[in-house]
Homo-oligomer: A and B are copies of this chain.
Amino acid sequence: MVFGWTTVFFKTRQLGYLNQLRTISQTAYTHPSSSAAFSKLSSEDISYLKGIVTPRGVVEEKEALEPFNTDWIGKYKGNTSLALKPSCTDQVSQILQFCYEKKLPIVPQGGNTGLVGGSVPVFDEIVLNLGNMNRIRDFDSKSGIVTCEAGVVLETLSNFVNEQGYTFPLDLGAKGSCQIGGNLATNAGGTRFLRYGSLHGSTLGLEVVLSNGKVLNMLSSLRKDNTGYHLPHLFIGSEGTLGVITAASICCPKKCRSVHTALLGVESFDKVTELLVRCKDEVGEILSAFEFMDRNAVQLATKLLSHVRDPFSSTFPFYVLIETSGSNENHDMEKLEKFLESCYSADWISDAVLAQDQSQMNQLWTLRESMPEAVNRSGKYIFKYDLSIPLEHFYDLVSEMRSRLADYTCQVVSWGHIGDCNLHLNISSSDSNESLSNLIEPYVYEWTRAHGGSISAEHGVGRVKSKYLSMSKDKQVIDLMKQMKQLLDPHGILNPYKIFSKEE
């Protein structure tokens, strides 16, 4: 077992390669035409809307609109002619009130790092980008409750609460670009979910602007408040289709003084699942991440990205990244070392590296977090899946896809937050091949449904999965969702063509 290796410096957890990605055909996903119920944006409308925001809050030039029209993976392209960047809640309210009256469709947009085409227009919907609403309104140093605007970048927020002695309960690879409003609207999961749970648990309150412009102030600096319905939860994960989140109050746990990261090489998937159960038991309350990668994923990342390294000298079929966060350095190290040693003795792990400093920790996290970038570079056509699959079947789908696609030149790689049964399955190919595509979809979704999983664990439905919604939810439940949509957005102007498919 290797408990140390030479220090390597990396610029880590940054995602700034949008422009290197390719735009990919997505005929299968587009709605055939924009809804006739909406009005066409007129020059008078534009003049009025421009008057609401400051000059730096208006984007009209075709080229400048490109990043507002194109999603993060370059797969979905809208055709808006107007992006508005309000700087306060009142401006959001005025914009929505006008759009509501005029029946003008609008797409709320945060950092635009989503993976299901949810944050860009399908046609010419106005983009409402929250990026200029980026103030931290309040922080209570005794309770760790932060109240901030929707446009605060996750990394900025995370660094801010860190400096105050707290940890932000959400962390994900896109932290350098994604915004807290978008995180909430998509109920983002990420690597800390295992320890700190979902945003439904951490979020104490929201400020939301409804489609008609009415502002709902549901912010709260109280951990407990049982007065009436818990409405903020309705907006968490609603992907901007029920209202626009403009601010949030979130409860942050105390910062852990002692953080350790280890990478384990594992010979079989059965051993990975055993490790997880054992790790939860032995490392217990200090376990803060349990991430999974398969050999193909690690190979791809180290091959395609020069800043990514595999710290092992041998290769393994599976890799597990463990992070612990606790309050006592000696206790934590003792627990982790004891766990690693017992696993090694019992042959559950074949090798392990334990990061000795921040730089080595970064190196391990870089390996894990570079996966999306690596797969995006690996082929022109990429099929990305974000699935919840019960542990006993977790890797079966990956193996099955490899055999199913054996005759094609493509790569099947997987990684994920296995501690939460969340698999990221990716298939990349250099050629556009209809028969390959037909072998993949809807099979992946059908398989997931048949094995009791969810077709979207943490990325949401957006545009990509709207036609498969019924594979995860009963008709009665979808019917109630539609009633909610009708109640809160009767003109359907908020993020149209998302979540629900046209057929439904």
Contact = CB atoms under 8 A, between A and B. Distances in A.
A250 B123 CA distance: 41
A221 interface: yes
Interface stretch (A1-9, A19-27, A402-410, A448-456): A448-456
A476 interface: yes
Contacts of A365: none
A227 interface: yes
A232 to B, nearest CB: 9
A143 interface: yes
A97 interface: no
Contacts of A325: 285
Nearest to A459: B226
A16 interface: no
A454 B284 contact: no
A193 interface: yes
Interface stretch (A260-268, A303-311, A467-475): A467-475
Most interface-central of A143, A223, A328, A455 (chain B CB within 10 A): A223
A242 B454 CA distance: 26
Given A229-B238, A230-B234, A256-B284, A388 B474 contact: no
A326 B231 CA distance: 34
A276 to B, nearest CB: 8
A277 B166 CA distance: 12
Given A224-B458, A391-B143, A476 B216 contact: yes
A284 B326 contact: yes
B234 A229 contact: yes
Given A198-B201, A201-B198, A227 B334 contact: no
Contact of A224 (B142, B388, B474): B388
Contact of A328 (B331, B422, B453, B484): B331
A181 interface: no
A453 B222 contact: yes
A277 B499 CA distance: 43
A182 interface: no
Interface string A320-356: 0000011110010011000000000000000000000
A460 interface: yes
Nearest to A465: B227
A283 to B, nearest CB: 7
A236 to B, nearest CB: 6
A390 B221 contact: yes
A217 interface: yes
Contacts of A230: 187, 200, 233-234, 236-238
Contact of A331 (B165, B334, B453, B465): B334
A186 interface: yes
Contacts of A210: 480
Interface of A: 140, 142-143, 165, 186-187, 189, 193, 197-198, 200-202, 210, 214-218, 220-231, 233-234, 236-238, 242, 254, 256, 273, 277, 280-286, 325-328, 331, 334-335, 388, 390-392, 417, 420-422, 452-461, 465, 469, 472-474, 476-478, 480-481, 483-484, 487, 499
